């Protein structure tokens, strides 16, 4: 599915009401459009709070998955274009968002109707590992499942966006890392959290790091207008 298109990863449990509403409006579910893993990596390193497990470089250090987003929300379905796979949602604040459901996922999910009230849960995690020399490029995947029967049909979409970045500089004194993302854009990131700083110590220029951003979006029809 394709996400709403502005979601920004934040540490789990650290959200003001305004931020939560804005994230809900802007989610990019496949139900949201995919975002670059390297950008999400930068956000995680500067803002993440969950522990990462550092390892020796010889053993190809790996960071355990970190939850960077975890929220719930409700919305009303304003309209549905079944041919185009477009759903128009209105949140509690009255803001409208258009959500696109990819054709290959559509058949696996319950059909929504105008007037449906739905509950949403959105979880985002990220993990990283030093890629062994000669390792194949990581591949992104997505899947969906759900039920169409009963008073409260529900569904879930899960996407794994996998990419490889190349480290070009590490400064453990300033807790900074420089890397090149898949678009050949050089990024300089300040590592603020101590667990992240431990992972930083395992990196050196020339390392290639495989990053994975997992977006899981589950939804359930809470109520619907009788037909």
What is the residue-averaged pLDDT of the chain? 76
Mean pLDDT for 63-79 is 86
With pLDDT > 70 as the criterion, what percentage of the chain qualifies? 71
3-state helix, strand and coil shares in percent for the chain, rounded to the nearest 5: 15, 45, 40
Residue count of the chain:
227
Q: How far is Cα 75 from Cα 158, in angstroms, rounded to an integer? A: 20
Domain that holds residue 64: 2-223
How many domains does one find in the chain? 1
Query: For residue 72, is pLDDT > 80?
Result: yes
Q: How far is Cα 103 from Cα 115, in angstroms, rounded to an integer? A: 22
Q: How far is Cα 144 from Cα 32, in angstroms, rounded to an integer? A: 13
């Amino acid at each position: 599915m394709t996400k709403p298109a502005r979601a920004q990863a934040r540490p789990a449990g650290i959200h003001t009401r305004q931020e939560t509403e804005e994230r809900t409006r802007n989610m990019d579910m496949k139900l949201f459009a995919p975002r670059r893993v390297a950008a999400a990596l930068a956000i995680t390193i500067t803002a993440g709070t969950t522990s990462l497990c550092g390892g020796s470089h010889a053993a190809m250090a790996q960071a355990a998955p970190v939850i960077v987003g975890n929220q719930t929300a409700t919305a009303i379905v304003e309209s549905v274009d079944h041919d185009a796979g477009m759903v128009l949602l209105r949140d509690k604040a009255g803001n409208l968002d258009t959500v696109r459901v990819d054709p290959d996922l559509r058949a696996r999910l319950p059909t929504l109707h105008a007037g449906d009230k739905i509950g949403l849960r959105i979880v985002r995690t990220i993990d990283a590992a030093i890629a062994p020399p000669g390792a194949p490029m990581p591949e992104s995947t997505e899947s969906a499942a759900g039920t169409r029967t009963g008073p409260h049909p529900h569904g879930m979409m899960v996407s794994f966006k996998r990419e490889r970045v190349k480290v070009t500089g590490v400064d453990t004194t300033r807790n900074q890392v420089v890397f090149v993302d898949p678009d050949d854009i050089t990024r300089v990131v300040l590592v603020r959290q101590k667990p992240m700083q431990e992972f930083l110590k395992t990196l050196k220029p020339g390392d290639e790091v495989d990053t994975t951003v997992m977006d899981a979006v589950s939804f359930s029809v809470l109520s619907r207008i009788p037909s």
